[in-house]
Amino acid sequence: MKCPTGAEAVTTAQSEQLALDLRRTGASYRDIAKTLNMSLGNAHKLVKRGLTRNLAKCSELADEIRTLELDRLDAMQTYLWGKAKRGNATAVDRILKIMERRARLLGLDRPERLALGGDADAPPIKQETRNAHEFTDDELAAILARDHQQDNQQQAGNRPHLGD
């Protein structure tokens, strides 16, 4: 594969940008191919290459911003460190916030584990399901009595209190 010369590289970059612009506005690959006077496959490759290039630019930009943010956090922590060592509680609090931010930015914190059950702190959730005909008359009466009692308690909680 030959490397494009300067003029060819500019033309390719312009074609790539035009192809991306067309795709962004909803043009099909067939429309892009026709506009740029190329095959359908080349139009697809051009758009794909442009998207990949843009993604790489975004990734590089994110890395640069992350580095800048880390530098800022370092500068703030350095400024506050002496005060924190002398016992300034506000400085200690700020340093802890800076450390938390740095850990989040770098992905150092272990992801929070959210469980619906199944560990030592939360046993598995078990939901027993039975059809109405599988309950005995006594079980149905107990369920109805419990529901009736809960309804009465809720209604009592919603009543205005006399003398307030």
Per-residue pLDDT tens for 94-138? 999 999 999 999 988 877 666 665 566 666 666 667 776 777 878
Residue 132 lies in a domain: no
Residue 143 lies in a domain: no
Residue 84 lies in a domain: yes
Q: Is residue 1's pLDDT more than 50? A: no
With beta carbons less than 8 A apart as the criterion, state whether 94 and 80 touch: yes
Residue 102 structural domain: 12-106
Residue 134 lies in a domain: no
Q: How far is the CA of 152 from the CAs of 159, 160, 161, 163, in angstroms?
A: 11, 14, 15, 21
* pTM for the structure as a whole: 0.44
DSSP H stretches of helix in the chain: 6-24, 29-36, 40-85, 89-106, 137-158
**Dihedral angle computed from the Cα positions of residues 156, 159, 161 and 164, in that order, rounded to the nearest 10 degrees:** 140
27-39 pLDDT, tens digit each = 999 999 999 999 9
Residue 135 lies in a domain: no
With beta carbons less than 8 A apart as the criterion, state whether 101 and 86 touch: no
With beta carbons less than 8 A apart as the criterion, state whether 32 and 41 touch: no
**Per the structure, how many domains does the chain have?**
1
Q: What is the mean pLDDT of residues 47-71?
A: 89
With beta carbons less than 8 A apart as the criterion, state whether 34 and 21 touch: no
